Structure 1
Amino acid sequence: MTRWVATPALARACAVAAAGLVGAVALGSPVLVVLTAPFLVPAVLGLVHRPRTTPRLVPDLGVQRLHEGQGLASGLVVEPADGVEHVTRVLERPPYVVLSPPSGVVGGLLRDGMPEAGIGVTRWGRRPVGAEQVALTGAWAGFRWGPRAVPAVTVPVLPQPAAFDSRAEAPQPDGLVGAHRSRRVGSGTEFSGIRGFAAGDRLRRIHWPVSLRTGSLQVVTTRAEQDSGVLVVVDAFRELGHSGGVDGPASSLDLTVRAASALAEHHVRVGDRVGLRVLGPGDARVPLGTGTRHLHRLAGTLARIVPANRQVDEDAALELGVQGDCVVYVLSPMLDAPVVTATAMLVRRGVPVIVIDTLGERDLDELGGPRSRAGLAWRMRRVERDNLLDRLAGLGCPVVPWRGPGTVDDVLHRLARRAQQPRVRAR
């Protein structure tokens, strides 16, 4: 409704007041005027204060993005507000959105401020928030405008990074100055070792105590000051389990996205160059980069992930786009052969790859029990998956379940030691 119309209360007051006045004149009874006065006065005041302008509703959320678990106040601006006395708002509640009050119904006098409702988001993604129905009432409840629908505003909800910290070094730093030392010998300040003098060595690198003791010139070698290249690969081909939001049970994709966010934030904070590859709808790619702005780009890309939930072609060929020496984190439930094959190809090329299993614990009771058809099929699928992971581990690729802090420390230490050894790469 886009115009002001009389309320039923005003219509009743006018009808009763008119009937009383007509009756008083017809019957010559002034008592009827006194009896109808409580209806006559509000009817006259309501007609006198009839709004003359057409209001316009402008949603005012006040934020451009949120994190899981955060909330906002759903503001609303009424322009112009001439003649508006009372505002009633009824908010819609889409999935993974909570309201305060839970009913989503708020109202109050405009002179006391626009009534606001609290909106909270419980899961990452692009969430439509702020959709509501708004009704305005004029002075003395004489005229009503609306209810009028206010469209939702899509707000990107960034994943809440899982608790994660690592004290291990990346095994193959490759870039420009960063936090992790390089395994390459070059110009730097960190001691690497002592070797015999060779043509081209700087004279200031000569270590005289060792040279005098051995009888031949010895020079000090240092580690090149280079940072780490880290590629985070996210498997969004399917989602297993039901997501209960940030405080509820986590689906496989919840674990994947939150773990990817935690890994990306950790490595960006310590100065590494981080890239992202999303396998699934959209095939998103974020090149290697550093800094807070790049971290926001990574988080925004993760928030736009939508699970494919379709059968993946078993013969499909995936190219993860790994360039140069970098550490590759593959976050996946590892249920699709193309993802396993692409990971194995990287391992055969000598790229340090860490597979982080984000399948999580799945309750067979949700499938009808372990003896149901669905439960039996899932158990058989797990056997096939375990076989694939065993073959992948046989190639030298570590597979670790996501456990939060310290998940990859031991694996990175082992990869760093392996990186010191000569490698043969398959071309």
Structure 2
Amino acid sequence: MTSWWPTPALVRACVLALAGLAGGVVGGLEVPVVLAAPFVVLAAMGLLGRPGRPPAVRTEIDHHRLHEGQGTTSRLVVDDLSGVEHVTRVAAPTPHVVTHPAYGAVGSLVGDGLPTVEFSPRRWGRRVIGAERVALTSAWGGWRWGPVDMPEHGLSVLPQTAPYDSRAEVPQPDGLVGRHRSRRLGSGTEFEGIRPFATGDRLKRVNWPVSLRTGELHVITTRAEQDAGVWLVVDGLRDIGASGGVDGAASSLDLTVRAAAALAEHHVRTGDRVGLLVVAADAARVGLGSGPRHLHRLTGTLARVRTEARSVAPERLDLGAGAGSVVYVLSPMLFTPLVTATASLLRSGASVVVIDTLGERPTDADPRSLASLAARMQAIEREDRLLQLAALGCPVVPWRGPGTLDTVLHQLARRARVPKVRAR
């Protein structure tokens, strides 16, 4: 409806008023006229309160980009409120989105302000909100405009970054600047030692106590501070388990995406260059970069990860990280070609860490059921894959939040400093 139409209440009041007046006049009775008097008043006030022209109504939301658990408000904009007394809004339910008030139904008098509906996405991804119906009512409930359908609004929901921090150094830093201690000497702040003065040394590096004691100039040497190239490989092929949103149980893809967002934020904050590779049917790749703007690009790409029935051909699976990079493979390791690609990347010289994001999965109550048997067989195959990766020297750690990778990165840093013998 795009114009004002009389409500059933106004039609009922008019009919009863006419019937009472007609009965009183024709029958010469006063009782029908007295009984019809209130309806005459209601009908007259309703007819006189008809608004002049149909209004133009639209909805607006305060934010189009949110993190999981945050909220936004949908506001109603009406160009002409003359003659309007009451506004009603009913929002359609959306998966993984909660509304306030509950069930998305709200109404209020125009004098108290136009009603608002609050939306809070509970899971990352692309959400559509604001699909609702709006109806306006005139004074005395005589005329109604609508209900009409309002257009939807797209909402990009970024993954919530799990609490994560690490004090471990990234092995093999290869950038120009950063806070990781390099294996080579340079103009950093990390003390390395004291040696005799040589041509080209800066005078501010002279260590005067040692120079006066030995009678020769000695300078302080430091290690260079570099940034690292960090690649995040996200397995978006399958989603194991049911997602309960940010407040409920997490599926394997929830753990994968949230862990990747936490690692990206941590390394960008420390000044490293971070890249992203999404292994899925609609694969996405973000090159190495740094800074807040690049972090927004990474989280936006993670929010668009989707699982589909289509798989990835093994010959098309190329992780594409060069030697000297640090690669985090976030996956439940259920796809054999991905395990093979990880092993190949490890042999190429990259520092690879597999982060197990399968999580704790509930077991079937009946161990003799077909589903329980299939789950146990899949778990045995998965355990065999992880043991093969560990035999190649690739650490496999389950995601546990803060401190998950400290021990592993310390071990990789020590391994990178060990001299290697290469056959020619």
Fold match by TM threshold 0.5: yes
Tell me the distance in 2 between the aligned counterparts of 1:425 and 1:346.
18
The residue matched to 1:34 in structure 2 has which SS?
A: helix
Question: Quick one: which amino acid aligns to residue 105 of structure 1?
Answer: A
Question: Quick one: which amino acid aligns to residue 364 of structure 1?
Answer: T
Instruction: Report the counterpart of residue 175 of structure 1 in structure 2.
Output: 175
Instruction: Report the counterpart of residue 15 of structure 2 in structure 1.
Output: 15
Matched, 1:321 2:320: yes
Matched, 1:410 2:403: no
Tell me the distance in 2 between the aligned counterparts of 1:78 and 1:207.
76
Gaps of 5+ in 1: none
Matched, 1:383 2:386: no
Matched, 1:359 2:362: no
Tell me the distance in 2 between the aligned counterparts of 1:317 and 1:216.
62
Which piece of structure 1 moves more, 186-195 or 76-85? 186-195
Offset of 1:423 from its aligned partner?
A: 4.0
Give me the TM-score of the superposition, normalised by structure 2. Answer: 0.92
Offset of 1:21 from its aligned partner?
A: 2.3
Which piece of structure 1 moves more, 51-60 or 345-354? 51-60
The residue matched to 1:181 in structure 2 has which SS?
A: strand
Which piece of structure 1 moves more, 124-133 or 67-76? 67-76
Offset of 1:174 from its aligned partner?
A: 2.0
Instruction: Report the counterpart of residue 295 of structure 1 in structure 2.
Output: 295
Offset of 1:195 from its aligned partner?
A: 6.7
CA distance 1:244–1:9, shift in 2 (3 Å): same
Offset of 1:288 from its aligned partner?
A: 1.7
Instruction: Report the counterpart of residue 371 of structure 2 in structure 1.
Output: 374
Question: Quick one: which amino acid aligns to residue 322 of structure 1?
Answer: A
Offset of 1:350 from its aligned partner?
A: 1.1
CA contact (8 A) 2:235 2:331 kept: yes
Offset of 1:305 from its aligned partner?
A: 0.9
CA contact (8 A) 2:267 2:273 kept: yes
Instruction: Report the counterpart of residue 266 of structure 1 in structure 2.
Output: 266
Instruction: Report the counterpart of residue 348 of structure 1 in structure 2.
Output: 347
CA distance 1:201–1:417, shift in 2 (3 Å): farther
Instruction: Report the counterpart of residue 120 of structure 1 in structure 2.
Output: 120
Gaps of 5+ in 2: none
Question: Quick one: which amino acid aligns to residue 232 of structure 1?
Answer: L
Tell me the distance in 1 between the aligned counterparts of 2:48 and 2:104.
33
Question: Quick one: which amino acid aligns to residue 409 of structure 1?
Answer: D
CA distance 1:316–1:375, shift in 2 (3 Å): farther
CA distance 1:20–1:424, shift in 2 (3 Å): farther
Tell me the distance in 1 between the aligned counterparts of 2:421 and 2:361.
39
Matched, 1:396 2:409: no
CA contact (8 A) 1:349 1:426 kept: no
Offset of 1:309 from its aligned partner?
A: 4.2
Offset of 1:369 from its aligned partner?
A: 3.2
Tell me the distance in 2 between the aligned counterparts of 1:281 and 1:53.
52
CA contact (8 A) 1:239 1:309 kept: no
Tell me the distance in 1 between the aligned counterparts of 2:194 and 2:279.
46
CA contact (8 A) 2:59 2:77 kept: yes
Per-residue displacement from partner, 1:264-322 (whole Å, max 9, x unpaired)? 11111122221111111431112222222222221111111112344554x43421121
CA contact (8 A) 1:195 1:219 kept: yes
Question: Quick one: which amino acid aligns to residue 270 of structure 1?
Answer: T
CA distance 1:356–1:363, shift in 2 (3 Å): same
Q: Where does 1:149-188 land on structure 2 (aligned, <5 Å)?
A: 149-188=149-188
Per-residue displacement from partner, 1:151-198 (whole Å, max 9, x unpaired)? 321211111111211110111222232222222333434333467888
Instruction: Report the counterpart of residue 38 of structure 1 in structure 2.
Output: 38
CA contact (8 A) 1:326 1:352 kept: yes
CA contact (8 A) 1:276 1:286 kept: yes
Percent identity, aligned pairs only, is: 62
- Alignment size in residue pairs: 423
Offset of 1:357 from its aligned partner?
A: 0.4
Q: Where does 1:328-343 land on structure 2 (aligned, <5 Å)?
A: 328-343=327-342
Per-residue displacement from partner, 1:40-77 (whole Å, max 9, x unpaired)? 11111111121222222221221121211122333211
Instruction: Report the counterpart of residue 148 of structure 2 in structure 1.
Output: 148
Instruction: Report the counterpart of residue 238 of structure 1 in structure 2.
Output: 238
Question: Quick one: which amino acid aligns to residue 149 of structure 1?
Answer: D
Q: Where does 1:18-167 land on structure 2 (aligned, <5 Å)?
A: 18-167=18-167
The residue matched to 1:232 in structure 2 has which SS?
A: strand
Tell me the distance in 1 between the aligned counterparts of 2:344 and 2:195.
36
Offset of 1:380 from its aligned partner?
A: 1.1
Which piece of structure 1 moves more, 407-416 or 155-164? 155-164
Question: Quick one: which amino acid aligns to residue 105 of structure 2?
Answer: V
CA distance 1:49–1:209, shift in 2 (3 Å): closer
Say what the alpha-carbon RMSD is for the aligned residues: 2.7
Question: Quick one: which amino acid aligns to residue 8 of structure 2?
Answer: P
Matched, 1:257 2:257: yes
The residue matched to 1:161 in structure 2 has which SS?
A: coil
Offset of 1:253 from its aligned partner?
A: 0.3
Tell me the distance in 2 between the aligned counterparts of 1:166 and 1:319.
28
Offset of 1:354 from its aligned partner?
A: 0.7
Question: Quick one: which amino acid aligns to residue 114 of structure 1?
Answer: L
CA contact (8 A) 1:350 1:423 kept: no
Tell me the distance in 2 between the aligned counterparts of 1:373 and 1:27.
82
CA distance 1:52–1:208, shift in 2 (3 Å): closer
Tell me the distance in 1 between the aligned counterparts of 2:236 and 2:423.
28
Offset of 1:13 from its aligned partner?
A: 0.7
The residue matched to 2:411 in structure 1 has which SS?
A: helix
Offset of 1:379 from its aligned partner?
A: 1.0
Tell me the distance in 2 between the aligned counterparts of 1:318 and 1:218.
54
Tell me the distance in 2 between the aligned counterparts of 1:128 and 1:47.
40
